[in-house]
Structure formats: structure tokens, C-alpha cells
Amino acid sequence: MTDEMTPADHARSIDDARQRLISFVEQCPAAEWRFAPVEGDPRAVGVIADHVAHAYEYLAGWIADLVAGKSVDVTAEIVDDLNAGHAGQAGAPTPGDVAVHLGASGDTLIGLVSGLEPAQLDLGGGQVRRFAQIAARHADSHRTEIEAALGHA
């Protein structure tokens, strides 16, 4: 992803990655869905996939805050706390639940990003652009990590 990407380009990139994850979720065998295949990560496949949908929510919130003129402080600790909170509350989501969550939270994020003016990508010292880039990479990163751990890659 380059700095020349428009908001529409970023939105398409997020949507494409989300669709690949949804396809994986819908095709994941039941025996693997509740398995925690990623070394060092105790979360089941379903919780990791739902985590991406949850991340779309906080990324959209940060982008909306920046567009509204607010500053956004994001640290590794803040992200870790959000992820730990999700892992503790996620339970055992079904593939259908996760697909719906990815659809809804992704639609909100994609709508927000696609509605930006190009200059708004630079808000917060470029944070909006970085959050859009992260949103696109995030789904693919977790999907490929899970596929590799399950031996599907």
C-alpha cells in the first residue's frame, strides 16, 4: 500500500481483505473452529477471526475522532488491553456470528474510510492513513497465520 492510495482505494483494500477472511470463516471446518492453532496465542480460530471485527470497531472510532478534530493516543498497551478485553468477553462465537460481526463492523469502517476526503488521510500526522492500512493488513495477517498453523497454506 502506498501513500498515493485514495480513500476509495483504502476502502476497497479493507473490503477485499475482509471478504477473504469471511470466506475462510465460512469454510473453516467445525473441528478447527474452536482449536487454538497459533503458537503462543491461546485464542481459538473463531475468537481470532472475531477479534478482527472488533478491531474494525476501535479503528473506526479512532478515525472518526480524528475527523472530528480530536487527538487520538494509541499505544501498544492500549491495543493489547483492547485485545485482551475482547478475548475475555468473546466466548465461543459461531462462524455465522463472526461473519455477521465482520460484515457489520467492516461496513461501518469501509463507509467511513470511503467517505473521507483525500487530505483527511493525513489527519493526526497520518494516523488516519495508517489506521486504514492496518485495517486492510489485519484481516489478511490473521487469516494467513491461522491457515499456516492449520496446515492450509
Q: What's the gap between Cα 68 and its chain centre? A: 22
How confident is the model over 95-107, as pLDDT tens digits? 999 999 999 999 9
DSSP-derived secondary structure letter, 40: T
pLDDT greater at residue 68 or residue 2:
68
Q: Is residue 2 part of a domain?
A: no
pLDDT for 116 beyond 50? yes
How confident is the model over 124-145, as pLDDT tens digits? 999 999 999 999 999 999 999 9
How confident is the model over 5-57, as pLDDT tens digits? 999 999 999 999 999 999 999 999 988 998 888 888 888 899 999 999 999 99
Tally of structural domains, the chain:
1
Give the span between the Cα atoms of 15 and 149, in whole angstroms: 24
> How many Cβ atoms sit within 10 Å of the Cβ of residue 130?
15
Q: Is residue 76 part of a domain?
A: yes
Q: Is residue 68 part of a domain?
A: yes
Position 87 confidence tier, pLDDT thresholds 50, 70, 90? low
Beta strand segments in 25-130, E: none
Owning domain of residue 78: 7-150
pTM above 0.75? yes
Q: Is residue 1 part of a domain?
A: no
C-alpha cell at 113: 474510510
Q: Please report the pLDDT score of residue 86 as a whole number.
A: 62
CATH of the domain at 144: 1.20.120.450
